[in-house]
Structure 1
Amino acid sequence: MARPDLNLLVTLDVLLEEGSVTRAGERLALSPSAMSRALARLRRATGDPLLVRAGRGLVPTPRALELRDRVRGLVQQAEEILRPAARLDLTTLERTFALRTSDGFVESFGPELMAKVGSEAPGVRLRFMQKAKKNAGPLRLGGVDLETGVVEHALPPDVLSAPLFADRFIGVVRREHPLSTGKVTTARYASSRHVHVSRRGLTEGLVDEALRPTNHEREVVTIVDGFSAALALAKASDLVATVPERHTVNLRRGMHTFELPFPAPEVTVSLLWHVRLDADPAHRWLRDCVLDVCRQETGRRTGGPPR
């Protein structure tokens, strides 16, 4: 069965409203002959004359009267669908957003983000999820609205990103650790016992690559899958944790932080989302909130790691 020409709905709506082929043609910028052909197509499609001659004018048939309000409603709905979305009203917005974040993000940026979102859109809920591994599946399938992470390779074309902040690695030990006093040299750092962070269970990472030109090698004695676990071990033992500064500012309170004695690796943490949400006003507002909070917080913390 051939699909009906939905453009005829607009023509029928105007014809039924005007009750005149000539006036309907003028509104639609069609000639009288083109409007007559359109009316003939409508009659064939509906199986009804729709408008019939009565004296010098046209009057609607019972079928046309039955269709008039329905057609008007359909055309109005179509016009609303094809218009830009109405201006976002944050005071009445009710929506739950899922954010998949790296270890330490919630502790460092969550309170400020919740305060900002709560003040601007009280009906919005944020659901934070830990990122166990890197893959775009949750973004594509709609289980995640936003994600934070380090972009190591080119993103697929359906995933968009914006940089949040640059982060550099620092060393962290408990306050009673030998490295908490005196100058931390490359030799002292490398000869200590280390906890390494790798979600994939790898024994080396960016820190080891940066250390290699010094002809030193870390003694990694344990591997964990998150910064919070690494810092918990370092706080309760003589292990050294080497972690990103901005991501862990709250996680390492009460511990001793030091600059690495060699060029510290730096990474850029980005915000990621799926292209289907790019034009969504509420999603755009939330992205701006995350960007604002991260940039404000990192701006407050410049000037070196706290000790």
Structure 2
Amino acid sequence: MIEKLELHHLKTLAALLQFHNISLAAESLNLSQQAVSAKLKRLRNILGDNLFIREGHGIVPTPYARSIQSYVESLISQLNAFPLPASNDISKMERQVVISATDYAQAVILPKLINKLRQVAPLVKVIVCNIEVAALTKKMSQGDIDLALTTSGYVPDGLISTPLFIERYVCVEADLDKISKDTVNREGNPQPPTTVKDLVQRDFVVVNPGTASLTGSAEAWFSQQGMTRHVSVSAPTFYMAQEYIKASDMVGFIPSRLLPITGLRVIELEKTPPGYQVVAAYHAKVKNDELIRFLLEASLLDNPEFEG
């Protein structure tokens, strides 16, 4: 019979246990005495106990009613604390948000974003994890990841992405003592930009987050120039790519917003690969989540140059 117990029954029982008086209970519930008496009758049938007996001008709970009072009060308390979508004030939220991000996004986007979130929603805790590639849609669907900061090419089907800004690549090499930092020739004139033909004579470091591949994002661009480069190393992050380049004579393409980087110098090129779009990706189920909305809006505000 317990499955027939409904919310209004619990509220009636809680009021009767609080006031020990049908009239006062009815007033607190904004109901008539007859309505409360009817609900009490129904409660007795469902629970199989008299629950209350009359005494003087009031009622007193039976031993069984006293034994379940803490359960009833706990259930009512939890129901009263139940959050509603319309009351999702992020300044009062006590929850955590999991953000999956590339090392680039962790360096360029997240520091300002986290600082802004702490000012607006101080009770929200942030968990940052490295970018997920293979199972991103599944983990977002299950609620293991709330937001991903990555490039448009790494967003799998089934997710929504919001463009943040366009990034461009620059080519870098180790800044060794033997390399002139002002890149001038003996006559004091600036050195001409390096040609793509000269560039492909060098060994490259490429970056492939979450995948094992020697094919970098600029491969198609080199093919369009009618050339093939030699990739010596594939790194999982831009940070590690920087370290490999610093310790060698290899070159690589690094996002411009990571510069300047101590130990690296920019190689001026006659032409460069096209830029790429940095995006925030999320699952459709959190589309109306106020916290996710704030994070998206804050990311866009930090990058006002994006024009769509």
| Shorter-chain TM band | 0.5 to 0.7
Calculate percent identity across the aligned residue pairs. Answer: 22
**Paired positions, count:** 286
For 1:164, the equivalent position in structure 2 comes to 164
> Unmatched 5+ residue regions in structure 2?
184-190
Q: TM-score, normalised by structure 2?
A: 0.67
For the pair 1:27 / 2:21, whether they are aligned, the reply is: no
For 1:245, the equivalent position in structure 2 comes to 256
Question: Mean alpha-carbon deviation: is it higher for 166-175 or for 62-71?
Answer: 62-71
Could you tell me whether the CA contact under 8 Å between 1:196 and 1:203 is conserved in 2? yes
- Cα pair distance change 1:143/1:61, threshold 3 Å: same
Which of 222, 237, 241 pairs up with 1:226?
A: 237
Written as runs of structure 1 = structure 2, the 5 A alignment for 1:146-161 is 146-152=147-153, 155=156, 157=158, 161=161
1:238 counterpart letter in structure 2: D
Written as runs of structure 1 = structure 2, the 5 A alignment for 1:189-208 is 189-199=199-209, 200-208=211-219
Written as runs of structure 1 = structure 2, the 5 A alignment for 1:135-154 is 135-136=135-136, 139=140, 144=145, 146-152=147-153
Give SS of 1:104's match.
Answer: helix
- Cα pair distance change 1:73/1:202, threshold 3 Å: closer
Deviation at 1:242, TM superposition (A): 1.7
Deviation at 1:292, TM superposition (A): 4.0
For the pair 1:186 / 2:196, whether they are aligned, the reply is: yes
2:5 counterpart letter in structure 1: D
Pairwise CA RMSD: 4.5
**Which whole-Å deviations, capped at 9, do the CAs of 1:205-229 have from their partners, x for residues lacking one?**
3311122222122122333222223
Deviation at 1:255, TM superposition (A): 1.2
For 1:173, the equivalent position in structure 2 comes to 173
**Which whole-Å deviations, capped at 9, do the CAs of 1:26-62 have from their partners, x for residues lacking one?**
9359x95x7665333211123334466789xx74243
For 1:266, the equivalent position in structure 2 comes to 275
CA distance in 2, matches of 1:196, 1:109: 22
Question: Mean alpha-carbon deviation: is it higher for 72-81 or for 284-293?
Answer: 284-293
Q: TM-score, normalised by structure 1?
A: 0.67
For the pair 1:47 / 2:48, whether they are aligned, the reply is: yes
Deviation at 1:191, TM superposition (A): 3.3
CA distance in 1, matches of 2:142, 2:196: 46
CA distance in 2, matches of 1:62, 1:22: 14
Could you tell me whether the CA contact under 8 Å between 2:96 and 2:126 is conserved in 1? yes
Deviation at 1:9, TM superposition (A): 1.1
**Which whole-Å deviations, capped at 9, do the CAs of 1:180-233 have from their partners, x for residues lacking one?**
631233322333332222343323233111222221221223332222232333
